[in-house]
Amino acid sequence: MSHQPTGELATSKGTIGQVPAEHVEEVIRQLRDVLSARVIADKNGVIQEIHVLVSSSRSPKQVVRDIESALLASHGIVVDHRKISVAQMQGALLRSIRNRLRVADVELTINGTKAEATVHLQRGSETFTGQAAGQGSQSNQLRLIASATVRAVEQACNMPDQIAVEDINPNVMVAGRQIVVAVVNMLSQYGEDVLTGSALVRNDLNRAVVNAVLDALNRRTAALRDE
């Protein structure tokens, strides 16, 4: 087997053509039963490897076909199925990933110049609710939704007043698609961390804001719960 010279391969922080690899990974992660995805491209932005972790409920061949179709439809990317590696997961680790926080519902109420956001998150059979109220401008509405998401995460993880929203940018455009980017600050016993997350806007900008915040926090809060 031949090997690429050192420096020829980029990690998922590279680009696939003009598309950041992180956004290609986000498309793959949205597919049914996909738990995680990592894309490796060469220095010219050509996909060399796609590694996907899935639950055991679907065949690897079907997952590969879904990935090929999704990347072609979303970004016009044609990928050789031989470059897609699918691993299936079972047992306790799979249950842990399935128990990550997920968005259940997002509510936004406007009353004159004021707004109130309520976010409901689920983890297994449990539901956690966060709320935030404030000035009702359109840009601040998204920040309120992000803040309400943070409050729900703090409730779920028993971390009161340890997470803050630094910024929400709903205007990142990649390949004609809208991406929300969230920046949050989290305090823990290890100090202060600045975390980032992103989510593709599909039909609901408010829900994408919640998903971007969760993308930033889910892995870290899951690790803290496991300690």
Domain boundary among 95, 128, 147: 95
Distance between CA atoms of residues 27 and 75, nearest Å:
9
Residues 88 and 125 in one domain: no
Domain boundary among 32, 67, 95: 95
Q: Which structural domain range is residue 31 located in?
A: 9-95
Residues 151 and 219 in one domain: yes
Q: What is the CATH number of the domain that holds 18?
A: 3.30.300.30
Across the chain, which has 227 residues, the per-10-residue mean pLDDT values are: 36 62 85 83 86 80 92 90 82 50 92 95 88 93 96 89 93 91 83 87 91 85 48
**The token pair that represents 35 in the structure block:** 């738990």
Domain boundary among 95, 119, 147: 95
Distance between CA atoms of residues 179 and 209, nearest Å:
9
Residues 107 and 43 in one domain: no
Q: What is the pLDDT of residue 222?
A: 54
pTM of the model as a whole: 0.58
Q: Is 88 exposed, middle or buried (0-12, 13-18, 19+ CB in 10 A)?
A: middle
Tell me the H-state helices in 99-192: 138-157
- Candidates 63, 60, 62, 25; CA nearest to 41 is 25
Residues 83 and 133 in one domain: no
Q: What is the CATH number of the domain that holds 211?
A: 3.30.160.270
